[in-house]
Amino acid sequence: MSISVQNISKSYKSIQAIDDVSFEVNEGELFGLIGPDGAGKTTIFRILTTLLLANEGNAKVLEFDVKQDYKAIRNSVGYMPGKFSLYQDLTVEENLTFFATIFGTTIEENYDLIEDIYVQIEPFKKRRAGALSGGMKQKLALCCALIHAPKVLFLDEPTTGVDPVSRKEFWQMLKRLQQKGITILVSTPYMDEASLCDRIALIQKGKILKIDSPSNIISKYDKVIYDIQSKNTHGLIHDLKNYSSHYSVYAFGEFIHYIDTNQNFNPNDLQDYLQQKNHTQIIIKPAQTTIEDVFMDL
């Protein structure tokens, strides 16, 4: 077991940041904490990286206790905080050398680990970190977090504020790191990234709502979701919400996701209802369930 969290609670003055959270991450697993802003993801990261002490509960990283053995943890984990936190006035190369040195190692020693990431930013190695683009900064931060060959990697919202192409690249890099035997705990507010993890924990308001693999979470969802579209989207949401047997209605990309309370729901009835409401070009079809749908229903 790489990470084990048992009944951890933490409150800042009157605000309960996380409430009785427990989960375990297996060795070599890519585990995602999925939840909106303010759900308590960063607090969990800070506790596990020994930056913050929990009010209650125990947590272990690589079998080291976060309270007693914090020194051992600091030696063997890599942490990439959500906010870019490298020295902006040092160059790419200087930042990397700095972090290598304070971990008592050199860039050459673990070069193979960072190689395929570092080659992408190497052309800019003389540039100051503050002058890099968002995606480049993330790559540099990942390099710095990896330079001492950590066994566990903590990535707090690594793709927030990064363009879609770089995000995709970033997840491919994580997959490659995972193949090298590194356990990765990653948090993200993007539901579409959830399906790239081995297992995910859905977290909201400091509580974990569900832990499972993304495919299980989707397959265990028992409700049928319909994609609905018409010419007047705004009026469509309004009218669907007034439909007597509706369960939930929310916008989802170009469609409206609609769930009915009635098990024997017949789409044709809904079609008739919408036509009465003067909607044109109506499309009603069963939708593919996504993590976001499950999350919306929790």
Partner 1 sequence: MKTILFIIQKEFKQIFRDKSMLQLIFILPILQLLILSNAATFDVKNIAITFVDNNQSRESRELISAFDASTYFNVTESYFSENKAIEEMQKGKTDIIVNIPVNFNRNLQKDKKGSISVNINAIDAATAGVENVYVTQIVSAYNKNIQIQSKYISENKEVEQNIMVIPSFWYNNTLNYKTFMVPGILVLLVTMLTLFLSSMNIVREKELGTLEQINVTPIKKYQFIIGKLFPFWVLGLVILTVGLIISKVVFNVPMLGNILLVYGFTSIYLLLILGFGLFISNHTETQQQAMFIAWFFMVIFILMSGLFTPIESMPKWAQNITLLNPIRYFVEFIRMVLLKGSGFVEVLNNLLIVFGFAVVVNGLAVWSYKKTN
Which span sits near partner 1 by CB under 8 A: 19-27, 94-102, 223-231, 278-286?
Answer: 94-102
Q: Is 124 a residue that touches partner 1 (CB under 8 A)?
A: no
Q: Is 126 a residue that touches partner 1 (CB under 8 A)?
A: no
Which span sits near partner 1 by CB under 8 A: 98-106, 172-180, 227-235, 270-278?
Answer: 98-106
Q: Is 143 a residue that touches partner 1 (CB under 8 A)?
A: no
Applying the rule CB under 8 A, the residues between 34 and 53 that interact with partner 1 are: 46, 49-53
User: Least distance in Å: CB of 41 to partner 1?
Assistant: 15
209, two tokens: 């709502």
> Do residues 182 and 12 touch, judged by C-beta distance below 8 A?
no
Q: Is 251 a residue that touches partner 1 (CB under 8 A)?
A: no
Q: Is 13 a residue that touches partner 1 (CB under 8 A)?
A: no
Q: How far is residue 80's CA from residue 72's CA, in Å, rounded to a whole number?
A: 18
Of the candidates 75, 82, 78, which has an alpha carbon nearest to the alpha carbon of residue 96?
A: 78
- Count interface residues toward partner 1 (CB under 8 A): 29
Q: Is 64 a residue that touches partner 1 (CB under 8 A)?
A: no
Comparison of 85 and 262: residue with beta carbon closer to partner 1: 85
287, two tokens: 């939708």
Comparison of 12 and 247: residue with beta carbon closer to partner 1: 12
> Do residues 200 and 294 touch, judged by C-beta distance below 8 A?
no
Contacts of 135 (CB under 8 A, 6+ apart): 162, 163, 165, 166, 169, 170
User: Least distance in Å: CB of 175 to partner 1?
Assistant: 24
Q: How many helices (H) and strands (E) does the chain have?
A: 11, 14
Burial of 165 (C-beta count, 10 Å sphere; 0-12/13-18/19+): exposed
Q: Is 56 a residue that touches partner 1 (CB under 8 A)?
A: no
C-alpha distances out from residue 213 to 25, 36, 99, 104, Å:
12, 19, 34, 37
Binding map of partner 1 across residues 70-89, x = CB under 8 A, - = no contact: xx--xx-x-x-x-xxxxxxx
Instruction: Single out the residue of 23, 103, 170, 255 in contact with partner 1 (rule: CB under 8 A).
Output: 103
Residues in the chain: 298
Which span sits near partner 1 by CB under 8 A: 67-75, 109-117, 197-205, 245-253?
Answer: 67-75
Would you tell me how many other CB atoms lie within 10 Å of the CB of residue 234? Answer: 8
> Do residues 34 and 295 touch, judged by C-beta distance below 8 A?
yes
Q: Which residues bind partner 1 (CB under 8 A)?
A: 46, 49-53, 70-71, 74-75, 77, 79, 81, 83-90, 94, 98-99, 101-104, 144
